[in-house]
Chains A and B, each alone.
Chain A
Amino acid sequence: RKEVEQDPGPFNVPEGATVAFNCTYSNSASQSFFWYRQDCRKEPKLLMSVYSSGNEDGRFTAQLNRASQYISLLIRDSKLSDSATYLCVVNPLGSGGYNKLIFGAGTRLAVHP
């Protein structure tokens, strides 16, 4: 079983739609969680960290369910510029360890006019 699993998609949605991505992780001791965005043939960039209480950044909302070992990302009012691959990322050692990141394979989003 992969440490971090995501639906590869693609998710094809019209502009203005709301879309949600899910991710599961296998290490129950994991403490730190992130969503990265990767554009085609570009490097990944941090989109947002995911906190236990859930957090929002503009049109983006991230949530964590520790009991189910499940992370989600919700994008409201999708823009064409949101088209990218969204990577679910987990630090299995948490803040007590070092900054090792485990990446999911990514979920591809395509927003069309």
Chain B
Amino acid sequence: GAGVSQSPSNKVTEKGKDVELRCDPISGHTALYWYRQSLGQGLEFLIYFQGNSAPDKSGLPSDRFSAERTGGSVSTLTIQRTQQEDSAVYLCASSLTAQSSYNEQFFGPGTRLTVL
């Protein structure tokens, strides 16, 4: 079956522009997570969704970052007025639910964002 998909795979943008990153989770997975990974760093949690609601947005680094999920499926991460420090790989993951830590999170291939 299809895994988690993300688009675009690569995005190069100029400082100050807005970008939208898309995640399509595994069918039937109600939980969806966004992480980012800067060069040589571990994954940094950004936000998660259970269904369409986002109970924990604590990882979003600033108010330039927002995410939404509609229909309990596809999610979009939006970064407004991009800065060079936003350059990273943005990874999306999904799991059956968010209620158990032993529900494996399956990751998408990521979107590599470069802000010039």
Which B28-48 residues have a C-beta within 8 angstroms of A? 31, 33, 35, 40-45, 48
Q: A43-B91, A98-B48, A105-B42 are in contact. Are A32 and B56 (CB under 8 A)?
A: no
Cβ of B105: which chain A residues have Cβ within 8 Å of it?
Answer: 46, 99, 101
- The residue in B45, B98, B103, B107 that gathers the most chain A C-beta atoms within 10 A of its C-beta is B107
Cβ of A87: which chain B residues have Cβ within 8 Å of it?
Answer: 42-43
A95 to B105, CA, bound (A): 14
Contact indicator per residue, chain A 73-113, by CB within 8 Å of chain B (1) or not (0): 00000000000000100010111011111111110000000
Which B60-116 residues have a C-beta within 8 angstroms of A? 91, 95, 97-105, 107-110
* Pick from B97, B101, B108: contact of A31, CB under 8 Å: B101
Cβ of A95: which chain B residues have Cβ within 8 Å of it?
Answer: 100-102
- A4 lies within 8 A of chain B by Cβ: yes
A101 to B55, CA, bound (A): 15
Chain A interface size, under 10 / 10 to 19 / 20 to 34 / 35 or more: 20 to 34
A42 CB, nearest partner CB in chain B, Å: 7
- A59 lies within 8 A of chain B by Cβ: no
Which B residues lie at the A interface, using CB under 8 A?
31, 33, 35, 40-45, 48, 50, 55-56, 91, 95, 97-105, 107-110
- If A95-B100, A99-B103 are given as contacts, then 17 extra A-B residue pairs at C-beta distance below 8 Å, sorted by A number, are A8-B40, A31-B101, A43-B109, A43-B110, A44-B43, A45-B107, A87-B42, A91-B101, A93-B101, A95-B101, A99-B33, A99-B48, A99-B105, A101-B105, A103-B35, A103-B42, A104-B42
* A-B residue pairs in contact (CB < 8 Å), sample of 5: A46-B104, A99-B33, A100-B56, A101-B45, A103-B43
Q: Closest 5 CB pairs between A and B? A: A43-B107, A32-B101, A105-B42, A91-B101, A103-B42
